[in-house]
């Protein structure tokens, strides 16, 4: 199959099978940018609602550049990889300063912006700028490795190089934006990781993996190390309608989001040891007997499995000095602050059950 045949068959398939998505109705590099960053490591089905809300709140670069951390994190709440949003804000400020508020659409310029790597730069440059630069994401890697029998592991540099080269050779320079979206759409809808729909694939008769019975083996996956388990012991300290939250200002997961005073251990912990953990000393008015202890809340991250337990304590007086980064807020104010999804879920559960 010639390169030209591949291109035209792919574009033909895309024209009649593409999903109707809001960022496909525009060539404005700002909207393309927002969609691409939201969709990093995120499925369309998960990111779509976030995209709409984000555009409503930050309709242009200027509004994004002047956003506050709390508002920005609140918009991103539950989506994960929160650094994406912070990097986008950093980049938006630079666009205002160095690009007169116009999001650039040339590949090399885009690469200089925080949070924009080879994939996102190629996506914006091709879709908004018509530049013939090929995207290589998980979909493209899978489609090309199966079509052409690339057997180097996906994580290896040789695998990356081979696929990058192949992608650059295959892209249609006349319609680079459509071509890039088409091959990703094929990967998302037909050439899926498991149980691909080879029967309806336009390339079913031309696919290396299909011809050699290797569809299940390609692309070659890397072996992943086991994920460690950590135990999170949260203190929910409340005084009538108010409770103490704290902002996570140290580097690491959930940076700049809010949670509660926390003891983190490799193991479960007894109440007695919990009370000797040092936290009660920070809150002198705290009743040492918990009013309520949650069950274990299990939460899985890519590189960490968390087992959390929430211990509710009563504060005997509200006007004690609070440690750095801690706030005493009313329950009505909770929804103004961005929390990790695990916390959001727990707070919803206990409020539904009418507990404190």
Partner DNA sequence: AAACCGGGGGT
Partner DNA sequence: ACCCCAGGTTT
What is the binding site for DNA (CB under 7 A)? 21, 23-24, 35-36, 39-46, 78-84, 87, 114-121, 123, 137-139, 141-142, 155, 157, 181, 184-185, 187-188, 192-195, 219, 221, 224-225, 251-255, 299-304, 340-342
What is the nearest approach in angstroms of DNA to the Cβ of residue 239? 27
* CA angle, residues 87, 33, 257, in degrees to nearest 5: 35
Side-chain-facing half-sphere of 68: CA atoms under 13 Å: 6
Q: Which of 40-67 are b and which e, b meaning 16 or more Cβ less than 10 Å from the residue's Cβ?
A: eebebeebbebbeebbeebeebeebbeb
The residue among 113 and 237 lying less far from DNA, judged by its C-beta, is: 113
CA distances from 43 to 23, 39, 76, 141, 189 (A): 14, 6, 15, 16, 12
The residue among 187 and 261 lying less far from DNA, judged by its C-beta, is: 187
The residue among 128 and 315 lying less far from DNA, judged by its C-beta, is: 128
Catalytic (active-site) positions:
36
Beta 229-239 vs 304-314: how paired, if at all?
parallel
Distance (Å, whole) CA 272 – CA 284: 17
Distance (Å, whole) CA 163 – CA 219: 11
Distance (Å, whole) CA 36 – CA 40: 6
Q: Phi/psi at 232 (nearest 5 deg)? A: -105, 125
The residue among 111 and 322 lying less far from DNA, judged by its C-beta, is: 111
Residues for the chain: how many in total? 356
Of 146, 288, 278, 287, the C-alpha closest to 217 is: 146
The two tokens of residue 276 are 């000797």
What is the nearest approach in angstroms of DNA to the Cβ of residue 81? 5
Beta-carbon contacts of 6 under 8 Å, excluding residues fewer than 6 positions away, are 170, 203, 206
What is the nearest approach in angstroms of DNA to the Cβ of residue 356? 24
What is the nearest approach in angstroms of DNA to the Cβ of residue 169? 20
Of 37, 90, 42, the C-alpha closest to 54 is: 37
The residue among 197 and 330 lying less far from DNA, judged by its C-beta, is: 197
What is the nearest approach in angstroms of DNA to the Cβ of residue 52? 14
The residue among 91 and 315 lying less far from DNA, judged by its C-beta, is: 91
What is the nearest approach in angstroms of DNA to the Cβ of residue 272? 29
């Amino acid at each position: 199959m010639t390169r030209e045949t591949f291109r035209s068959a792919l574009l033909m398939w895309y024209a009649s099978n593409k999903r109707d998505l809001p960022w496909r109705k525009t060539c404005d590099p700002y909207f393309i940018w927002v969609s691409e960053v939201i969709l990093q490591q995120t499925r369309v089905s998960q990111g779509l609602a976030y995209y709409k809300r984000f555009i409503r709140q930050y309709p242009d670069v200027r509004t994004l550049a002047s956003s506050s951390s709390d508002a920005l994190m609140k918009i991103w709440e539950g989506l994960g990889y929160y650094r994406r949003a912070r990097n986008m804000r950093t980049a938006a400020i630079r666009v205002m300063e160095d690009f007169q508020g116009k999001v650039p659409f040339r590949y090399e310029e885009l690469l200089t912006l925080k949070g924009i790597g080879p994939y996102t730069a190629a996506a914006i440059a091709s879709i908004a700028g018509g530049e013939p630069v090929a995207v290589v994401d998980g979909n493209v890697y899978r489609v090309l490795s199966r079509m052409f029998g690339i057997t180097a592991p996906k994580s290896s540099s040789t695998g990356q190089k081979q696929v990058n080269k192949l992608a650059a050779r295959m892209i249609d320079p006349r319609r680079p934006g459509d071509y890039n979206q088409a091959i990703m759409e094929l990967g998302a809808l037909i050439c899926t990781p498991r149980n691909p729909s080879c029967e309806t694939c336009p390339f079913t008769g031309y696919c290396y993996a299909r011809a050699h019975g290797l569809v299940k083996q390609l692309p070659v996956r890397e072996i992943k190390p086991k994920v460690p388990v950590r135990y999170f012991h949260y203190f929910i300290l409340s005084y009538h309608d108010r409770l103490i939250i704290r902002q996570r200002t140290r580097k690491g997961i959930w940076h700049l989001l809010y949670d509660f005073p926390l003891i983190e251990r490799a193991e479960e912990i007894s109440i007695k040891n919990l009370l000797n953990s040092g936290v009660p000393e920070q809150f002198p008015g705290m009743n040492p007997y918990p009013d309520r202890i949650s069950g274990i809340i299990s939460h899985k991250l890519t590189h960490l499995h968390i087992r959390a337990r929430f211990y509710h304590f009563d504060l005997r007086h509200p006007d004690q000095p609070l440690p750095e980064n801690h706030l005493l807020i009313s329950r009505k104010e909770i929804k103004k602050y961005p929390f990790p999804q695990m916390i959001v879920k727990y707070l919803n559960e206990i409020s539904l059950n009418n507990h404190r």
